[in-house]
Amino acid sequence: MSLLQEADRNHLINEFQALTEPVKLVMFTQEMECQYCRETRMISEEVAELSDKISVEVYDFVRDQEIAEHYNIDKIPAIAIVRGGQKPKDYGIRFYGIPSGYEFSSLIENIMMVSRGESGLSAETKAWVANLQEPVHLQVFVTPTCPYCPQAVIMAHQLAMESEFITADMVEAIEFPQLSNKYHVHGVPRTVINEDTHMEGAAPEPILLSKLQEAVA
């Protein structure tokens, strides 16, 4: 049984007409599929069916350990959204946990952004990010019922697209309770930057930028 409804499929087919560069969804599950691994795989496969610009590769987290390491995948279910085609590129955009509820729109927005090849960030943010010379890791904790969360997820992924030093994860907080405990997540969205710096809520771009500056200072 399909997860996407017919009307939604048709709507997405139409939206995906705007795709330019090919996009690849690299999905990690395992033989004994984890909670929501199956649904996450199905979402990836069904979305990829809707455009010839989108492809999907499904890997086993255990059997395909080398590939998981190549993409720095440390938990499942996971999706890496990368540019496909002749000039493939991994921007460091990751989804950990099922991109359902409001996060489905984050997934679609990210596919569109990677295909477009343009983050859409402000000139000021781009200028700062361009000078970044050290790794920055953003983890945006979300729940599927949080309407504010996609803003935080998409902005983190925009940053990842802008710099090879930045990686950004959506982390579904309920599926990864050990991470939620580790980072004291009791409300979402909560963005953890390089382990020690954190930000509550979906903040405007300049505020996230100042948090980034604080994190690397």
Partner 1 sequence: MSFDLNLGLGMSNLGGGEDNNYDVVIIGGGPAGASAAIYTARADLRTLVIDKGLTAGALGITGKISNYPGVPGPVTGAELVEIMRAQAESFGAKFLTDKVVGVDIHGERKMVMAGTGAFYTKVIMLATGSMGRTSVVKGEEEFLGRGVSYCATCDGAFFRNQTVAVIGNNDEALEEALFLTKFADKIHLIVPTPELKAREALAAEATTHPKIAVQLGTRLKEIMGNGQVAGVRVHPRGGSEETLPVTGAFVYLQGGKPITDYLMEQLETQPNGCLVVDHEMQTTVPGVFAIGDLLCTHIKQAVIAAADGVIAAVAADKYIHGRKAVQTDWK
Positions touching partner 1 (CB under 8 A) are 3-5, 8, 11-12, 15, 35, 39, 43, 98-105, 108, 143-151, 173-174, 180, 184-190, 198, 200-204, 206
Q: In whole angstroms, how close is the CB of 176 to partner 1 at the nearest point?
A: 11
Q: Closer to partner 1 at the Cβ: 68 or 199?
A: 199
Q: Closer to partner 1 at the Cβ: 90 or 175?
A: 175
Q: In whole angstroms, how close is the CB of 125 to partner 1 at the nearest point?
A: 14
Block residue for tokens 């069916």: 49
Q: Closer to partner 1 at the Cβ: 65 or 145?
A: 145
- Among residues 42, 111, 60, the alpha carbon closest in space to that of 81 is found at 111
Q: In whole angstroms, how close is the CB of 168 to partner 1 at the nearest point?
A: 19
Q: Closer to partner 1 at the Cβ: 4 or 67?
A: 4
The DSSP secondary structure of the chain, one letter per residue, reads --SS-HHHHHHHHHHGGG--S-EEEEEEE-SS--TTHHHHHHHHHHHHTT-TTEEEEEEETTTTHHHHHHTT--SSSEEEEEE-TTS-EEEEEEEES---TTHHHHHHHHHHHHHHT-----HHHHHHHHT--S-EEEEEEE-TT-TTHHHHHHHHHHHHHH-TTEEEEEEETTT-HHHHHHTT-SSSSEEEETTTEEEES---HHHHHHHHHHHH-
Q: In whole angstroms, how close is the CB of 87 to partner 1 at the nearest point?
A: 28
Q: In whole angstroms, how close is the CB of 43 to partner 1 at the nearest point?
A: 8
Q: In whole angstroms, how close is the CB of 13 to partner 1 at the nearest point?
A: 12
Q: Closer to partner 1 at the Cβ: 63 or 186?
A: 186
